[in-house]
A and B are shown apart, each in its own frame.
Chain A
Amino acid sequence: GDSVTQMEGPVTLSEEAFLTINCTYTATGYPSLFWYVQYPGEGLQLLLKATKADDKGSNKGFEATYRKETTSFHLEKGSVQVSDSAVYFCALRTGGFKTIFGAGTRLFVKA
């Protein structure tokens, strides 16, 4: 079945460091790919998405490119801030209404 695998956390970075959170997927169809963020004590918020190969999703300085050849959707940010500390979830949908989530990666950013 469809699945999402993302790097285990926690990831601890200093402020202004470069961030990469790896995400790979397995899907039988042509999925849309998403990154969600969960701040402490809150629900999930959609961070960015890409709906077809080579699309780049971007928001708040975060970017991810849909790579069909490597079935990946890695999340990157050039300079993280303390306020970026959260749990990040990679997810996919293949045309239905069910979203398949990865296990989440916790990010800590130190001042």
Chain B
Amino acid sequence: NAGVMQNPRHLVRRRGQEARLRCSPMKGHSHVYWYRQLPEEGLKFMVYLQKENIIDESGMPKERFSAEFPKEGPSILRIQQVVRGDSAAYFCASSPLPKVDMLNTEAFFGQGTRLTVV
């Protein structure tokens, strides 16, 4: 059973270009979470998605960032018109349908995509 797969592992974009980050959850997992890790900082929650639905996007910047998790295919985090401050590691995690006791629903993390904006 493959783990959470993210690609690409490394992405270089020039300022103003678009960045597309992909996340394939573990088999059987229907919930995806995106986090951003700025240099020398911890992970910050961005967005939580279920198939075809955004559950919580309270951590997403209001402009230029969007996320989707279509019925078929991977989850996509899209950053339009990238700026140098978007340079970070972006991690995806997935979980099965959270149990009634959500605290015991474990999320599994991918290896991350390191975005560098030049």
Interface residues of chain A, those whose CB is within 8 Å of chain B, are: 4, 32, 36, 41-46, 51, 89, 93, 95-104
Contacts and interface: CB of A to CB of B under 8 A. Distances in A.
Interface residues of B, number: 29
Contacts of A101: 35, 42-44
Contacts of A51: 103-104
A102 B42 contact: yes
Contacts of B35: 101
Contacts of A93: 102-103
Nearest to B112: A43
Interface in B91-115: 91, 93, 95, 98, 102-107, 109-112
Given A32-B103, A43-B110, A51-B104, A98 B45 contact: yes
A45 B4 CA distance: 11
B43 A89 contact: yes
B107 A99 contact: yes
Contacts of A100: 45
A104 B110 contact: no
Contacts of A36: 109
Given A32-B103, A36-B109, A97-B56, 15 more contacts: A41-B111, A43-B4, A43-B112, A44-B43, A44-B109, A51-B104, A89-B43, A97-B48, A97-B102, A97-B105, A98-B45, A99-B45, A99-B107, A100-B45, A103-B41
Contacts of A102: 42
A86 to B, nearest CB: 14
B109 A45 contact: yes
Given A89-B43, A97-B48, A103-B42, A43 B111 contact: yes
B32 to A, nearest CB: 11
Contacts of A97: 31, 33, 48, 55-56, 95, 98, 102, 105, 107
Nearest to B48: A97
A48 B49 CA distance: 25
Contact of B91 (A44, A95, A98, A104): A44
